[in-house]
Structures are given as structure tokens and as C-alpha cells.
Amino acid sequence: MSALAPHRGVGAGQYIVTGGTRGLGMATARALAAEGAKVVVSGRTEKSVADAEAELGGSGAAAGVVADNADAATPGRLIGVAHDAFSRLDGVLISVGGPSAGTSDTIDDGRWRADFESVFLGAVRLSRTVAEELADGGAIGFVLSSSVYEPIHGLAVSNALRPGLAGYAKNLANELGPRGIRVVSFLPGLIATDRLRELDALTTDDADAARAGIPLGRYGTPEEFGRAAAFLLSPAASYVTGVTVSIDGGARSAF
């Protein structure tokens, strides 16, 4: 008999996706749902959460929660909803809105603290709490940024916090591996989300020049990110852990 556990497809899973009402989180939730998985998505407003829940199949297929990753009560609330709605939990994708834009001389202590609570500590807290619930393997995914490898002009907070989270994620993979829990970090490049359009509006950089620096010659789509993330969260990627996966059309120059 094979030493490997029986393969289960994405359709067998139940997942939490934070920031799951828009952008890369929503794209991943859609991809998971399209494969038959059940999802709990969180967002900042009642309307965005209700709309996302309906789009993802409504009661029995999806559940929405208004939550802020910076709130220490959020992990318990999300896990409680997952158990109430679907009886078990197989993984989480931790995604939040991008941290404050700005250079190091324009970001005050208040903005640093707020972004640290949301982007860094919120992610650590949620991953730690979910890990306690994953008794039979599972996966934890972090949506980070290409700033893990190369600072992005005008995003000093991301340049500081995202590499730290990548280190934390690798450490977590080492700690949780003996329990069969996998940890993967996703590094999106230039993906055509509302966030990217907001950042493009703040800069005078030439978007055509930015696309020219991508070997595939274009911005990625949220759907392309979502499909890749859904696969890597699923048991189909059962031997992938402790890695940072660039989803950037080949833009990263190093291998």
C-alpha cells in the first residue's frame, strides 16, 4: 500500500479567505468555489460581504463575515463560522488590503502601528490560531508581495513588513511540517486589481514601461492568481511547503 495519504481534490475542502470580498482574495475564493470547495470570506463592510457570499453560492457553499485582521477577536470568529457552517476547516488564505503607500519620510508612527497590526500581527495571529484547528493536515497561505525580494518605490511599509512575514511563514512551515500542515507564501507581481490601479494613479511611472519589464508582456489577472493559489492550497499540492511562489509573469529577475 502506498505510504501517501489518499488524494483529495479541491472540492473536498473548506477554507477561510480573508480579504475575500475583492481583489486577489476574492479571485482565490472564486477559484476554490468553482472546484466545489466551501469558503468563509471576510471583508470590511456588510454589503461587500453579502455580495461575495451570494456570488460564491450562498448558504451551504459560502459564508461571509465582516472582520478586520487587526482585531484580536477575528481568528476565533472566522473559525467559529467555518465550523458552524461546514463542520471542519482545511486551510486559510491570509490576504489583507495593501499597507499605506508612502516613502519612509512621509509615514508617521500611527500609520506604522496600524499597518503592523493589520498586515503583520493580524496574519501571525490568524495563522497561529488556524494551525491549532488543523488536526488532519491542511494548508496556510500568505498573500505577500514582490517586495519580499525587491523594494518597491513608494511602498516603504510593504518593503519592511512583507519580507518579515515571508521569514515567519518559512519558520512556520518548518514547525508545522511534522503535523502535515503546509505553508506557502504567494508573491503577486503586477496584477490588474483595484489596488494596482490606485497605486498607478499615485505615480508618474510609465505603465507601458512596467509591462515591458514583464517577460509575458502584460499585467496578470486576478483569475490567474486565484487559480494558482487555489491549486497550492489544495491537497493536489500535497508535497509543496515552505516556499515563496512568484505569480508575476516572470518579472522577478533571479531564479
Residue appearing with cell numbers 497561529: 128
Q: How far apart are CA 5 and CA 199, in angstroms?
A: 44
Q: Is the pTM of the predicted complex or chain greater than 0.75?
A: yes
Distance of CA 223 to the CA centre of its chain: 14
Q: How far apart are CA 92 and CA 138, in angstroms?
A: 9
- Asked if 21 and 52 touch (Cβ cutoff 8 Å), the reply is yes
**Between vectors from CA 228 to CA 223 and to CA 230, what angle results, nearest 5°?**
90
**Between vectors from CA 208 to CA 202 and to CA 214, what angle results, nearest 5°?**
105
What is the chain's pLDDT, residue by residue, as a tens digit (255 residues)? 233 343 455 556 999 999 999 999 999 999 999 999 999 999 999 999 999 999 999 989 999 999 999 999 999 999 999 999 998 899 999 998 778 889 999 999 999 999 999 999 999 999 999 999 997 799 999 999 999 999 988 999 999 999 999 999 999 999 999 999 999 999 998 898 766 666 555 565 666 666 778 999 999 999 999 999 999 999 999 999 999 999 999 988 776
Residues 6+ away with beta carbon under 8 Å from 6: none
The cell numbers describing 220, all together, are 496578470
Q: How far apart are CA 138 and CA 89, in angstroms?
A: 8
Sheet of 62-66, strands arranged across: 62-66, 38-43, 14-17, 91-94, 138-143, 181-188, 243-247
Q: Which of 74, 80, 85 lies closest to 19 in space, CA to CA?
A: 74
Question: What are 215-233's pLDDT values in tens digits?
Answer: 999 999 999 999 999 999 9
Three-class SS state of 34: helix
pLDDT at 6: 39
CATH architecture of 10-117+131-170+185-247: 3-Layer(aba) Sandwich (3.40)
What is the 8-class DSSP label of residue 94? E
Q: How far apart are CA 6 and CA 21, in angstroms?
A: 32
Q: How far apart are CA 242 and CA 31, in angstroms?
A: 22
Domain chopping of the chain, boundaries: 10-117+131-170+185-247
